[in-house]
Amino acid sequence: MTGETGYNIVFYETQRGSRPALEFIEALLSPAQAKIARWLGQLAVHGPDLHRPMSDVLSGSIRELRIGYGGNNYRLLYFFFERTVVITNGFVKKTHSVAHGEIARSERRRADWLSRRPL
């Protein structure tokens, strides 16, 4: 997925070929998937200029896409690499703040993604 300004959206892929954030999205009901797709489209268009309430910086280079639908608060964590947005993980947020474990998972996946990209 690429927005008008050219930000490419990709999903982090493990060495075994799974894409956890995409699998999270695909497990949701179609209306929630559609809203997430619209928000991802906005992220592709606006990149780092997408701000609250749709997006926010969590820690260092890790950001969150904030999607509310049907009483649920969905979150997709991501980072930027040049003009690419790498979606690392997705979850339903149930507490006031994003769990440190989710941020740490995103940071590990970022480090793994960066270590495996071709030079």
Looking at residue 94, its pLDDT comes to: 87
Q: Per the CATH hierarchy, to which homologous superfamily does domain 8-116 belong?
A: RelE-like (3.30.2310.20)
What tens digit of pLDDT does each residue of 37-66 get? Answer: 999 999 999 999 999 899 999 999 999 999
DSSP string over 50-99: --TTTEEEEETTEEEEEEEETTEEEEEEEEEETTEEEEEEEEEE-SSS--
Contact yes or no for 59/107 (Cβ under 8 A): yes
Looking at residue 73, its pLDDT comes to: 95
Domain ranges, ordered by start, for the chain: 8-116
Query: What pTM did the predictor assign?
Result: 0.92
Pairing of strands 55-59, 62-69: antiparallel
Residues of the chain with pLDDT under 70: 1-5, 119
